[in-house]
Chains A and B, each alone.
Chain A
Amino acid sequence: AQTVTQSQPEMSVQEAETVTLSCTYDTSESDYYLFWYKQPPSRQMILVIRQEAYKQQNATENRFSVNFQKAAKSFSLKISDSQLGDAAMYFCAYRSRNNNDMRFGAGTRLTVKP
């Protein structure tokens, strides 16, 4: 079974600075999807960014970008110009191309300091 590991339970960043959240995963498959989700305090989980494994180019969404290293099975999230509203739990998730259920990591709680 696929597993997703987020080795940083907590991270903090100064407002306007850059922070990188780590994620590694274990799979024997070659075609899959990776996601980062954000869960703000007492609010719904929302998608931040997604990556298709067969695409070599790293995904970007405004201030959010990923560093996808397929061989290393690593999928880190970089948040540039951090804002107070970025404070949340961030979950890394894996989904096989052939089914619809996702595997989530344990999460990283990000604190943004003003």
Chain B
Amino acid sequence: DVKVTQSSRYLVKRTGEKVFLECVQDMDHENMFWYRQDPGLGLRLIYFSYDVKMKEKGDIPEGYSVSREKKERFSLILESASTNQTSMYLCASTETQPGPNEQYFGPGTRLTVT
């Protein structure tokens, strides 16, 4: 089974702190994604990566950056956390082969910024 893990289920940080959210997948997937999930808004794409050291902005990249130094690991960085970044963060991965490939999700990190 594909496994996507995230470093924390719950995280509380203070405004202005630098925050790292880690995601690791064990299926050698090329593509990895970071979403934030908010009530009434569904999942919105922050960043994705289709290869090591490659990254693409999603729909809401402002205030975030990412790092992908190894194929299995994709990190989301909040350079200076703000209260409007309080949310559920979901990581996902998928393979590149043609077809209706599903995205496999991690359990999520619920981040609270106070």
A residues in contact with B43, CB < 8 Å: 91, 102, 104
Q: Shortest CB–CB separation between residue B2 and chain A, in angstroms?
A: 11
In A1-37, which residues have CB < 8 Å from any B CB? 4, 6, 9, 33, 35, 37
B residues in contact with A61, CB < 8 Å: none
Q: How many residues of B contact A (CB 8 A)?
A: 25
- Asked whether any CB of chain A lies closer than 8 Å to the CB of B75, the reply is no
Interface string of B25-52 (1 = CB under 8 A from A): 0000001010100001111110010100
A47 near B102 (CB under 8 angstroms)?
yes
Q: Shortest CB–CB separation between residue B32 and chain A, in angstroms?
A: 10
Interface-lining segment among B16-24, B62-70, B78-86, B103-111: B103-111
Q: Which residue of B lies closest to A51 (CB)?
A: B100
Interface size classification for chain A: 20 to 34
- Asked whether any CB of chain A lies closer than 8 Å to the CB of B61, the reply is no
Q: Shortest CB–CB separation between residue A102 and chain B, in angstroms?
A: 6
The 10 A-B residue pairs whose C-beta atoms are closest, nearest first, are: A33-B100, A45-B105, A104-B43, A106-B42, A47-B102, A104-B42, A50-B100, A100-B31, A44-B107, A107-B42
A50 near B42 (CB under 8 angstroms)?
no
A residues in contact with B76, CB < 8 Å: none
Seed contacts A44-B107, A100-B48; 8 additional CB < 8 Å A-B pairs: A6-B42, A43-B107, A100-B94, A100-B101, A101-B33, A102-B103, A106-B40, A106-B41
